[in-house]
Amino acid sequence: FYLLLAALVRLLTIRKMQRSFVLWVQLLFSQHGARAFLAKPFALTKTSVKLYDVPNIVGKYFQLEENEDKESASTAVTLNSDQSVTLGDTDGPPFQGYAGKWDLQSDGSFSMTLSRDFEAGSPEQEETDIGEFSFEVVRTFRGDLGLAGDKITMEGSLHAEDEITGDRSVGFFNMVETGQTSDEAG
């Protein structure tokens, strides 16, 4: 069995597919996932009738991992009941401000748009210096809701849109429930 598992991992060369496979294996080896697999071997995709209900994700804390080009960043995210987003600590570039909204469809399709404001540069000292400036980065996250053990996950593609290239995929993301809710945080 382990040789077969190792061979499957080697075949999955695309990072996103590796992450999906790892989440599937974690689900398989979790207590509930193993029971579900033994009962119905091919029924792992929809493990909970209530999973796609919005109340299951509202107010919970998630760890967002964004992977764009060679860069990756992790940010704490809370999905609020008014479909706004609250961002917490990040190991990515520090933002000065943000706005976000999210949506969940009944089929488990998840989308979230984040707009973050950044400041860069330094005060102008010479005529040729750019000086200080600010800019906005907007990213849309599109993916699917799932489970890893008993934790809710979302994974999918990361999109940027501009006037020249239009909507294009620029990376991928994963969001994993951390187990705490905004009520528990205080």
What phi and psi, each to the nearest 5 degrees, are found at residue 51? Answer: -55, -40
Question: Residue 5 corresponds to which tokens in the numbers above?
Answer: 């598992």
d(CA 128, CA 130): 7
pLDDT of residue 72: 94
pLDDT of residue 37: 43
More confident residue, 1 or 56: 56
- Are residues 9 and 15 in contact, defined by beta-carbon separation less than 8 angstroms? no
Question: Residue 161 corresponds to which tokens in the numbers above?
Answer: 């849109």
What phi and psi, each to the nearest 5 degrees, are found at residue 178? Answer: -95, -10
Of 151, 149, 143, 150, the residue nearest 174 (C-alpha): 143
Of 46, 79, 68, the residue nearest 172 (C-alpha): 68
CB proximity list for 95: less than 8 A, separation 6 or greater: 87, 116, 117, 118
pLDDT of residue 13: 41
* Model confidence pLDDT, tens digit, residues 3-34: 555 555 555 444 444 455 555 555 555 444 44
pTM above 0.75, yes or no: no
- Are residues 120 and 137 in contact, defined by beta-carbon separation less than 8 angstroms? no
Helix boundaries (H) for the chain: 2-11, 15-29, 31-39, 182-185
pLDDT of residue 68: 93
* Model confidence pLDDT, tens digit, residues 93-148: 999 999 999 999 888 899 999 999 999 888 888 888 788 889 999 999 999 998 88
pLDDT of residue 45: 43
pLDDT of residue 26: 52
Side-chain half-sphere of 157: how many Cα atoms within 13 Å? 6
Whether pLDDT at 39 is above 70: no
Of 105, 99, 102, 133, the residue nearest 119 (C-alpha): 133
